Amino acid sequence: MSSKLDALNAWVAEAAALAKPDAVHWCDGSQAEYDALIADMLQSGTLVALNQHTHPGCYLHRSNPADVARVERLTLVCHPQEADAGPNNHWMDPAAAHAKIDAMFDGCMRGRTMYVIPYCMGPIDSPLARCGVEITDSPYVVANMRIMTRMGAAALARIERDGSFVKGLHSIGELDPERRWIMHFPAELAIKSFGSGYGGNALLGKKCHALRIASYQGRTEGWLAEHMLIVGIENPQGEIRYIAAAFPSACGKTNLSMLIPPEGYRRDGWKVWTVGDDICWMHPGEDGRLYAINPEAGFFGVAPGTNRKTNPNALETISHDTIYTNVAVTADNQPWWEGLPGTPVTDWQGRPYDPANGPAAHPNSRFTASVRQCPTWTDQAEAPQGVPISAIVFGGRRASLQPLVVQARDWTHGVLMGAMMGSETTAAAAGAVGVLRRDSMAMKPFCGYHYGDYFTHWLDFDRPAAKLPAIFQVNWFRKDADGKFLWPGFGDNLRVLEWMLKRVEGGATGKPTPIGTVPAPGELNLEGLDLEPGRLEALLTVDQAGWQAELADVETYLESFAPRLPEALRRERDRIAQALAASD
Ligand code: SAT
Ligand code: MN
C-alpha cells in the first residue's frame, strides 16, 4: 500500500489492538455490502423489516430506551487549554480524556466485528469536502453512514490522495449511560465515542466531524461549518437564489429545506430545490461571495409531525430504502408516528401501544434516507464549488417577542443576531423540553471551540472585497395570547423567503425598527392566505419593553464569553439598546 495510507493503517492496527475485535472489515460502500449488513441485522434482531409492499427497503431499529438523544453533559471538547473550549463546551484535559475512554475501549469489541468506514463529507471531488474514517462495532452505524455520507472505496481513494482524514473511534460498548462519552480532540482531528448508538453520538461524520471538528478546522482555514440547511429558491424567471438557515435541532430545518410553495406561487412557477437540511460548509469564493456545500448525503430527520400536510416531500423521500429509528408500527407493519393517519399497535419500544406509556413514536424518532430520494433534490448539491449564498437566516422557537422576520442592517448586526439567538429546547437533546436557552447560531451543542473566538471568526469575514449574504432573523413559532401559532408556517414560509430575496435584490424597501428592518405594509405577499385581521401586525410587532429586557439578558449572556467577546458585538448590542431607548 502507498505511504499516504500508512497513517490510516497504523491507526486501524492500533485501534484493533486496543478494542480486540474478532474480525476487521474494511467497508467498500457497495450495495452488496449494505445488503449483507441488513441481512445480518435482521437475523440478530438489530433491525426489524417493515411492510415491504408499502415501504420497500425500509427497516426499523429500536434503540436502547436509555439511548435516544444526544447527551450534552457527556460531550466533551478536549483542547490542550481549557480556555479554548470556552464556557459553551464541557472540557477535559486531552491526556486524561484519552486515558479515561481508552480504558473503556480496551477489549470492548471482543466477539464483535470492527468496521472501518472511510467517508467523505461533501462531493467527492470538491475542494471544500473533507474526509474521515470511522471505526465502529455497530453495523447499524455502518448502514446509516452509507446513507449519510459518501462512504467506501471512493472516499478511501480520496484519503489516499489527500493524505489526511479525521479519525473517529466508536463503540456502542454496553450502551450504559454511566459508561458513555463523546469526546473531541480538535487539535488531533480525532473523535472518540463510547457507549451510545444514537445518531449524533455515533454517526461520527455528522455532528462530531461536520460541526465540532469542522468548525475548528474552518476557523484555522478561513471557512465556516454551520448548523444550517441550504435551500434554492427558483423564481418564475428561472433564477435560483440559495439561502442558508440555522435553527436548533428539531425546529423544522428539514421542512424548510424541502417546502412546497403555496398554490399561487406554484401556479406562477416558483420552485424549491433542496441542497441540505442540517449542515452547511461555507467558503469565501474568488468573487467575494460565500459558497456552500452540504457535507452530508442523507437526511437524519425527525419523524413525528412529518405528514402529507407538513412535508409531503419528506414522506415521499422516506417511502422506500429508509432506516427508521424508534418509530411505532401499525397492524400491517407500516412505520407510524404522531401526526400520521392510521393507528399504532406497537410503540417505539416494541410494546403493545398504550397511551398511558406516552407517545407511540419517540419524540426524537428519526428516519435515515438518501438526499437523492427527495423529489426536490438538485444536482447543484454535487457542484464541487458549492452554491452561492444570497441570504443567511437565523431562527429559533420563541412563543413571544421575536418578530416573524427582521433583517440585520449589516454583517456585524447579523452576527449579533446569530449570537443572541434564543430558542425553546426540543427532544433532540436529553433534558427538559420547552425551556428558553441561548443557542448562538444554533451551534451551542456543536461549536468545537470558544464561542467568543467563534464570533470573532464570523466577524472576520467582513473584509473589503467581500460580497457577503444579507442576514435575517425569523421566528415561525410566535403565539397569540391563547397559545395559538400566529403564522401558518411550512409552505407559507416561502412568503418570508421571497421578501428576503426582494430585499437582497433591492425590490423591497422594508420598515426600519430599532432591532432591524421588518417588511413594510404590503410587502409580504399574503395572497391566498387567510390571515385574520391584526395577525400580521402582531407577528411583526417590536415590543419595546420586551426587547429592552431581552437585550439586558443578552448582555449578561454575551459577557459570559469575556474576555474573548469581540468588542464589536458589545458595541452593536449597545447601539440597539440605545435605539430602543430613543424610540420610547
Ligand atoms: O444530533 S443528531 O444529529 O442526532 C440530530 C440533531 O440533533 O440534529
Ligand atoms: Mn441538526
What share of the chain has pLDDT > 90, as a percent? 95
428 lines ligand 1 (CB under 6 A): yes
Q: What is the mean pLDDT of residues 130-134?
A: 98
Atom 6 of ligand 1: nearest residue by CA position: 249
**pLDDT at residue 358 above 70?**
yes
209 lines ligand 1 (CB under 6 A): no
Question: What's 449's DSSP letter?
Answer: S
206 lines ligand 1 (CB under 6 A): yes
Q: What are phi and psi of 343, to 5 degrees?
A: -130, 135
Q: Which pLDDT value is given to residue 408?
A: 98
Q: Which residues surround ligand 2, an ion (CB under 5 A)?
A: 249, 278
Whether the CB-CB separation of 472 and 407 falls below 8 Å is answered with yes
Strands 387-395 and 470-474: parallel
> Is the torsion defined by CA of 257, 258, 261, 266 positive or negative?
positive
What spacing in Å lies between the alpha carbon of 203 and ligand 1's midpoint?
Answer: 10
Q: Closest-lying ligand to the alpha carbon of 75?
A: 1
Indicate the top mutation candidate among 184, 249, 280, 397 to test ligand 1's pocket, ranked by most ligand atoms within 8 A of CB.
249
**pLDDT at residue 518 above 60?**
yes
Q: For residue 499, how far is the Cα from the chain centroid?
A: 25
Q: Which pLDDT value is given to residue 2?
A: 56
Q: Which pLDDT value is given to residue 476?
A: 96
Exposure string over 548-570, b if 16+ CB within 10 A, otherwise e: bebbeebeebbeebeebbbebbe
Strands 166-171 and 190-194: parallel
Closest ligand 1 atom, CA of 69? 4
Specify the domain boundaries for CATH 3.40.449.10 within the chain: 3-47+66-222
Question: What's 195's DSSP letter?
Answer: S
Specify the domain boundaries for CATH 3.90.228.20 within the chain: 226-246+259-268+284-292+379-582
pLDDT per residue over 379-388, tens digit each? 999 999 999 9
Closest ligand 1 atom, CA of 429? 7
CA atoms in the 13 A half-sphere facing the CB of 510: 24
**pLDDT at residue 1 above 80?**
no
Name the CATH topology of 226-246+259-268+284-292+379-582.
Answer: Phosphoenolpyruvate Carboxykinase; domain 3 (3.90.228)
What spacing in Å lies between the alpha carbon of 279 and ligand 2's midpoint?
Answer: 7
- CA distance readout (Å), 314 to 3, 19, 372, 373, 513: 44, 39, 11, 9, 37
pLDDT per residue over 245-293, tens digit each? 999 988 889 999 999 999 999 999 999 999 999 999 999 999 999 999 9
What spacing in Å lies between the alpha carbon of 205 and ligand 1's midpoint?
Answer: 11
Atom 2 of ligand 1: nearest residue by CA position: 200
182 lines ligand 1 (CB under 6 A): no
pLDDT per residue over 215-254, tens digit each? 999 999 999 999 999 999 999 999 999 999 999 988 889 9
Indicate the top mutation candidate among 147, 207, 255 to test ligand 1's pocket, ranked by most ligand atoms within 8 A of CB.
207
Burial class (CB in 10 A: 0-12, 13-18, 19+), 515: buried
Closest ligand 1 atom, CA of 428? 7
Q: How many CB atoms lie within 10 A of CB 125?
A: 11
249 lines ligand 1 (CB under 6 A): yes
Question: 431 falls in which pLDDT band (50, 70, 90)?
Answer: confident
pLDDT per residue over 183-203, tens digit each? 999 999 999 999 999 999 999
Q: What is the mean pLDDT of residues 557-567?
A: 98
Instruction: Report the interhelical angle of 544-559 vs 567-582 (nearest 10°).
Output: 160
Question: What's 237's DSSP letter?
Answer: T
pLDDT per residue over 67-115, tens digit each? 999 999 999 999 999 999 999 999 999 999 999 999 999 999 999 999 9
Closest ligand 1 atom, CA of 302? 5
* The one catalytic residue among 208, 251, 280, 374: 251
Closest ligand 1 atom, CA of 227? 8
Whether the CB-CB separation of 89 and 74 falls below 8 Å is answered with no
Is 251 annotated as catalytic? yes
What spacing in Å lies between the alpha carbon of 224 and ligand 2's midpoint?
Answer: 16
Rounded CA separation 245/223 (Å): 16
**pLDDT at residue 4 above 90?**
no
200 lines ligand 1 (CB under 6 A): yes
Question: 434 falls in which pLDDT band (50, 70, 90)?
Answer: confident
Question: 558 falls in which pLDDT band (50, 70, 90)?
Answer: very high
Q: Closest-lying ligand to the alpha carbon of 69?
A: 1
- Domain spanning 3-47+66-222 has what CATH number? 3.40.449.10
Nearest to 426 by CA among 402, 447, 451, 445: 445
What spacing in Å lies between the alpha carbon of 428 and ligand 1's midpoint?
Answer: 6
